[in-house]
Chain A
Amino acid sequence: MNKILVGLIVGLILGAIDGATAWFTPEVRPAIAGIMVGSSIKGMIVGLLSGWYARRVESTRKGISLGAALGLLFAFLVALMQHAHYLAIMLPGFVTGAIIGFLTQRTGSAKRLAEQ
């Protein structure tokens, strides 16, 4: 499977799971559907970029670093839009991004579709 596709799928799944953990915070529970959708989109963007990077650079360490940095950046943007919960959004986003970066390095084919 293409690394970009792996990134999109992994980002979608991990983003959705990360968003679903908002259920444990009672004050945001009513908005959980919106959080899950937003978190999934954020995960997919991080996955897309990490997958694109993984096709060009084969390095688990660099993949994890980039994924973590992207996760942190997009989580910061999400927190900035809400002007609240900076720590609660950015910390998990950072780790989720690292996991996405790792998985795009370790799984999927680095070949472009045209070369396959």
Chain B
Amino acid sequence: MDVSDSVIDHLRHVAALPDLAGTRYELESEIGRGGMGVVYAARDRQLDRRVALKVLDSALAGEAQLIARLEHPAIVPIYETGTLPDGRAFYAMKLVAGARLDRHLAEAASLGERLRVIRRIGEALAFAHARGVIHRDLKPQNVMVGEFGEVYVMDWGVDAIAGTPAFRAPDARLDRRSDIYALGALLQFVLPPSAPPALRAIAAKAMRSDPAARYADASALLADIERFQEGLAVQAWSEPLWHRLRRFASRNAVLLWLLAAYAGVKFLLFFLRNL
């Protein structure tokens, strides 16, 4: 009984595998499943290299055309598109060796690294938005960090995708401001519990329920993160006076030490003269 069940399961599995006959690809293994299809690791026989092959659930190849328009270091390049014998569309893309963002963060925990990844994602978003493309489903599972630290934003959205609840903006109609919301949610996700309030404020501003109250674009959000990293005031947070003074002191620590040394020298000379 058990044997026949396992045989049936195996047959189901094999039947679900895409038929790559007539293509230059050889199936290796399944990598993951998304809202619009399944991604496999495959081998390109012609060029003798491994690729990622996304087989879409429908005949729509719009997703591939969408991504192919985006040539950016943080967007996985598309090599080829095609149609399988069963009519489903597929596209081959670079196989990224690395970890998903959520898994990457579990290993590399420094705040600087977390912000670096967010900035790379934001740059990819700004680039795509400038070309009229929005992601629609930005979440940790759709970001890969390569073994050399390269960041890739995957699964660029098509109309059918409605986003993932925790990262989806409460907007009736998804547009670039919805991506800003998701980027804010992603920033909030990567921040450790001890994150500075300025960074939390940046995430909160990006996640405002009113789209008009969010950052106008991804570049504005990135500029605020950059300001934080340079020790400047961020636009998203009107900081208290004591915090402003502390930031000034930490930004100008060397100069303050030198001025203190000058005052110390003058006081020392004054006391020596009056001994």
Check if B262 is an interface residue, CB within 8 A of chain A.
yes
Closest to A98 in B: B258
Question: Please, how many angstroms separate the alpha-carbon atoms of A106 and B252 in the complex?
Answer: 10
Is the CB–CB distance between A99 and B255 below 8 Å?
yes
A95 touches B261 (CB 8 A): yes
Which A residues are CB-close (under 8 A) to B270?
24
Is B269 touching A102 in the complex (CB atoms < 8 A)?
no
Residues of B within 8 A of A102 (CB): 254-255, 258
Q: Which residues from chain A sit less than 8 Å from chain B, CB to CB?
A: 21, 24-25, 60, 64, 87-88, 91-92, 95-96, 98-99, 102-103, 106
List the B residue with the shortest CB-CB distance to A90: B265
Q: A25-B273, A95-B261 are in contact. Are A60 and B254 (CB under 8 A)?
A: yes
Q: Is B262's CB under 8 angstroms from A96's CB?
A: yes
Within 8 A of A (CB), among B244-272: 254-255, 258-259, 261-262, 265-266, 268-270, 272
CB distance from B68 to the nearest CB of A (A): 41
Q: A60-B254, A102-B254 are in contact. Are A91 and B259 (CB under 8 A)?
A: no
Main secondary structure of the interface of B (DSSP, over half): helix
Across the interface, which residues of B come within 8 angstroms of A92, CB to CB?
262, 265-266, 269
With A24-B270, A25-B273: A91-B265 Cβ-Cβ less than 8 Å? yes
- Give Cα A99 to B258, complex, Å: 6
In Å, the complex CA distance between A46 and B272 comes to 27
Given contacts A96-B262, A99-B259, A99-B262, contact A91 B254 (CB under 8 A): no
Q: Chain A: which residue is nearest B254 at the CB level?
A: A102
Name the distance in Å between B4's Cβ and chain A's nearest Cβ: 74
Complex: A25 Cα to B269 Cα, angstroms: 10
- Residues from chain B with a CB closer than 8 A to the CB of A87 are 269, 272
Number of A-B contacts (CB under 8 A): 33
Given that A95-B262, A99-B259, A99-B262 are known contacts, is A88 also in contact with B269, CB under 8 Å in the complex? yes
Q: Which residue of chain B is the closest to A100 with respect to CB atoms?
A: B258
Q: Which residue on A lies nearest to B269, using beta carbons?
A: A88
Residues in A neighbouring B259, C-beta threshold 8 A:
99
A102–B254 Cα distance when bound, in Å, is: 8
Contact assessment for B265 and A95 in the assembled complex, using a CB-CB cutoff below 8 Å: yes
Q: Which residues of A contact B261 (CB under 8 A)?
A: 95, 98
A47 to chain B, nearest CB (A): 15
CA A50 to CA B272, docked complex, whole Å: 31
Q: How far is the CA of A87 from the CA of B261 in the complex (A)?
A: 15
Point out the residues of chain B lying under 8 angstroms from A64, CB to CB: 254, 258
User: Shortest beta-carbon distance, B256 to chain A, in Å?
Assistant: 11
> How far is the CB of A71 from the nearest CB of chain B, in Å?
11
The interface residues of chain B lying within 8 Å CB-to-CB of A98 are: 258, 261
For residue A86, give the distance in angstroms from its CB to the closest CB of chain B. 11
A40 to B270, CA, bound (A): 22
CA distance in complex: A94, B270 (Å):
17
B261: nearest chain-A partner, CB-CB: A95
Taking the nearest CB of chain A, how far is it from the CB of B128, in angstroms? 35
Enumerate chain B residues within 8 angstroms of A24, measured Cβ to Cβ.
270
Chain A residues in 8 Å Cβ range of B255: 99, 102-103, 106
- Bound together, the chains give a CA A96 to CA B265 distance in angstroms of 11
Separation in Å of the A87 CB from the closest CB of chain B? Answer: 7
Q: How far is the CA of A24 from the CA of B266 in the complex (A)?
A: 10
Give 6 nearest A-B pairs by CB, closest first.
A95-B262, A91-B265, A99-B258, A95-B261, A88-B269, A92-B265
